[in-house]
Amino acid sequence: MNTTNIELPAWIEVVVIPILNIIMALFFAGLIMLAIGVNPVEAVGIMLNGAFGYQEGLGYTLYYTTNFIFTGLAVAVAFHANLFNIGGEGQAYIGGLGVGLVFLALDSVLPPILLIPIGIAAAALFGAAWAFIPGWLQAYRGSHVVITTIMFNFIASALMVYLLVNVLIKPGQMSPESRYFAEAAWLPRMHEFFGLFGVSITKTPLNMSFVLALICCVLVWIYIWRTRWGYDLRTAGFSESAAVYAGIKPKRVVVSAMCISGALAGMVAVNEIMGVHHRLIMNFPAGYGFTGIAVALMGRNHPVGIIMASLLFGVLYQGGAELAFEIPKITREMVVAVQGLIILFSGALALMLRPWVVRLYLLVRPVREVSA
């Protein structure tokens, strides 16, 4: 029976099936744990406790989540225009370059109230610019965006190595990183923010960019589903010929979708560079751009889903680190394997269970009498 065209209620589609997928992934992860002689239940307990059990753990979890939200949204926006932006990694990296250049030039001149917005804008602008080129090439020259964005990740990486080693490096040191920015350019950490209200929480990397990520979720939702431009984006994404018929210019949609996508990916630099490292360093995107693809897939390209998926990956990152620390038998690589299983079941095999769910649903649901 072909079940792909049978519609399921939204709650099954966005809640039940993803949870089933995660259960499948955890089941296989559990088998691996058993194989090396670790009690899976205990492992899950350590993981959850590490991610949520105490303030520091929670802080780290949400700090990772922030990055995933940005890159997940980036992939989702492009996806709604039927584009597969694999260049989040490079766009985030170049976004960091934007922040670095602006702050290295201005951090001693301007007050925080100006520096922070300028830094955010620079991250967005540089990320967008890095995505603009593949977007333009796709729209006007037909070079496939998947290929070009992958290439641009390498170009970004090479460019940053060159700049950090030769140009932006702090004079008189060996490690390829810029000088620290003035404190005026540091994005307030969450514990500082809470401190303003007299609430004391543990110091963690979690900073105000988490709030920015949530704001971006709302903005992306409004943009895609509630504005004229999002309507154009979706029309061109679903059907280029319908877009042309409606007087929408698909090429422009491709370019603008890539720019918005790149700007969102660039926001990773706000969290990492402005919020945590306070200087330009090498390889700070650390795979967040790629994981964003899995996040968007799992979150069904919807901001709410992306927040949930990002949180899940945040838990995996932080809880996984805790696990590797607590149980020496479980190495970092094993944690990566568990993450891989979750990506496999939620991304690549996302619809594997759907036919059975559909059948079950049809069985339990009373059939309305409708004739063809």
Q: How far is the CB of 370 from another protein (least distance, A)?
A: 5
CA-to-CA distance for 89 and 67, rounded, in angstroms? 11
Residue type, 89: E
Query: Minimum Å distance from CB 10 to another protein?
Result: 12
CA distances from 140 to 15, 153, 244, 254 (A): 39, 21, 15, 10
What the block records as the tokens of 358 is 């559909």
**162 or 356: CB nearest another protein:** 356
Q: Which stretch binds another protein (CB under 8 A): 146-154, 220-228, 259-267, 273-281?
A: 220-228
Closer to another protein by CB, 163 or 217: give it.
Answer: 217
Min dist. Cβ of residue 142 to another protein (A): 13
Binding to another protein in span 6-45, by CB under 8 A: 6-7
Q: Quick check: 234 and 43 in contact, CB under 8 A?
A: no
Q: Does 175 engage in binding with another protein (CB under 8 A)?
A: no
Beta carbons within 10 angstroms of residue 366's beta carbon: 5
Region of 117-125, 203-211, 245-253, 266-274 interacting with another protein (CB under 8 A): 245-253
Quick check: 140 binds another protein (CB under 8 A)? no
Using CB under 8 A, which residues numbered 225 to 244 contact another protein?
Answer: 226-229, 231-232, 234-235, 238-239, 241-242, 244
Give the pair of three-digit tokens for residue 146. Answer: 């998947």
Tell me the closest approach of the beta carbon of residue 363 to another protein, in angstroms.
Answer: 12
Smallest distance from another protein to CB 233, Å? 12
Q: 29 vs 243, which CB is nearer to another protein?
A: 243
370: contact with another protein by CB under 8 A: yes
CB of 365 to another protein, least distance (A): 9
Residue 362 beta carbon to another protein: minimum distance, rounded to whole angstroms: 7
Q: 7 or 333: whose CB is closer to another protein?
A: 7
Q: Give the separation between CA 139 and CA 103, rounded to whole angstroms.
A: 33
Per CB under 8 A, 333 contacts another protein? no
* CA gap 283, 155 in Å, rounded: 13
Q: How far is the CB of 234 from another protein (least distance, A)?
A: 7
Token pair for residue 139?
Answer: 């729209």
Site for another protein in 290-309 (CB under 8 A): none
If one asks whether residue 368 binds another protein (CB under 8 A), the answer comes out as yes
Q: Count how many Cα atoms sit within 13 Å of the Cα of residue 300 in the half-sphere of its side chain.
A: 14
Answer for which of 35, 247, 328, 363 binds another protein (CB under 8 A) is 247
- 315 phi, psi to nearest 5 deg: -65, -45
Q: How far is the CB of 198 from another protein (least distance, A)?
A: 39
For another protein, which is the closer residue by CB, 140 or 245? 245
Candidate residues 31, 109, 114, 222; the one interacting with another protein per rule CB under 8 A: 222
d(CA 89, CA 180): 23
Q: By C-beta, is 52 or 361 nearer to another protein?
A: 361
Q: Give residue 368's region: left, alpha or beta (phi > 0; psi -120 to 50).
A: beta
Residue 234: its H or E element: helix 228-238
Task: Count the site residues for another protein by CB under 8 A.
Answer: 26
Q: Report how far residue 69's alpha carbon sits from residue 365's, in angstroms, rounded to the nearest whole number.
A: 36
What 3-state class would DSSP assign to 189?
A: strand
339: nearest Cα among 83, 14, 64: 64
Q: How far is the CB of 238 from another protein (least distance, A)?
A: 5
Q: Which residue has the tokens 């900073």?
A: 207
**What is the spatial distance between Cα 146 and Cα 134, in angstroms, rounded to a whole number?**
9
Q: Which residue, 246 or 360, has its beta carbon nearer to another protein?
A: 246
Could you report how far apart the first and last alpha carbons of the chain are, in Å? 18
Question: Binding residues for another protein, per CB under 8 A?
Answer: 6-7, 222, 226-229, 231-232, 234-235, 238-239, 241-242, 244-247, 362, 367-372
